[in-house]
Chain A
Amino acid sequence: GENVEQHPSTLSVQEGDSAVIKCTYSDSASNYFPWYKQELGKRPQLIIDIRSNVGEKKDQRIAVTLNKTAKHFSLHITETQPEDSAVYFCAASNPDNDMRFGAGTRLTVKP
């Protein structure tokens, strides 16, 4: 089955800096890659997703890139703000298999 690895497990940046979180996956059949943000004590919420027919997707300060050949994808947050502090999860799936999540990255944005 699919195995998703996520790095780093913790990340601390200064407000205004960029943050990058990386994930690798094992199943070449995976074709859907969402990212979820989970604030302390709350539910995970989708912030951006990408499908395998696209190499990059942007939404304001957030972008995701996908390298299918290398089987890795990354989340990029620019101009970080304190409210970006949360745990971020990557995931990978395809219609024939359940979604597998990375272990999460705790992002802290220092004012």
Chain B
Amino acid sequence: NAGVTQTPKFRILKIGQSMTLQCTQDMNHNYMYWYRQDPGMGLKLIYYSVGAGITDKGEVPNGYNVSRSTTEDFPLRLELAAPSQTSVYFCASSYSRQGESPLHFGNGTRLTVT
């Protein structure tokens, strides 16, 4: 199993540009998540999904959108990129809800907005 795969690994965006961060998992997990990690700030939840067709906001959803058309894929869309979105983004999945099982993380996407 590849686990959780994220692409791209690095990206530089100009202010106002848009992009999609890709995430796919091959563990047949229903639950998937997007986190951002800022220096010294831990991980903050952006959006999550409990299954195909269902998404919900996390702690810091502003400026982002997600979709979940299949169990495997959970892309994160940035519209009108802003410098405040410079961060490392991690996708994760779990076989049951967060309060019941650990998270499996992808390798991350380092995004810089200038």
A residues sitting closer than 8 Å to B (CB atoms) are 1, 4, 6, 9, 30-32, 34, 36, 42-46, 49, 89, 93-104
Interface magnitude class on chain B: 20 to 34
Query: Are B40 and A9 in contact, CB atoms less than 8 angstroms apart?
Result: yes
Residues of B within 8 A of A100 (CB): 59
Residues of A within 8 A of B43 (CB): 44, 89, 101
Per-position 1/0 for B76-97, Cβ under 8 A of A: 0000000000000010000001
Given contacts A43-B106, A45-B105, contact A98 B40 (CB under 8 A): no
Query: Are B45 and A104 in contact, CB atoms less than 8 angstroms apart?
Result: no
Residues of B within 8 A of A30 (CB): 99
Residues of A within 8 A of B48 (CB): 98
Query: Are B100 and A95 in contact, CB atoms less than 8 angstroms apart?
Result: yes
B41 CB within 8 Å of chain A = yes
Q: List 25 A-B contacts (CB under 8 A).
A: A4-B42, A32-B99, A32-B100, A34-B102, A34-B103, A43-B105, A43-B106, A44-B43, A93-B98, A93-B99, A95-B98, A95-B99, A95-B100, A98-B33, A98-B45, A98-B48, A98-B98, A99-B103, A100-B59, A101-B42, A101-B43, A101-B44, A102-B42, A103-B41, A103-B42
What residue of chain A has the Cβ atom nearest to residue B59's Cβ? A98
Residues of B within 8 A of A44 (CB): 43, 90, 103, 105
Residues of A within 8 A of B107 (CB): 42-43
Residues of B within 8 A of A31 (CB): 99
What residue of chain B has the Cβ atom nearest to residue A45's Cβ? B105
Which residues 24-78 in B have Cβ within 8 Å of A in the complex?
33, 40-45, 48, 58-59
Q: With A and B bound together, what is the CA distance between A97 and B100 in angstroms?
A: 11
Given contacts A44-B105, A97-B98, A99-B103, 13 further A-B contacts (CB under 8 A): A6-B42, A30-B99, A31-B99, A32-B99, A43-B105, A43-B108, A46-B102, A46-B103, A94-B99, A98-B58, A98-B98, A101-B42, A101-B43
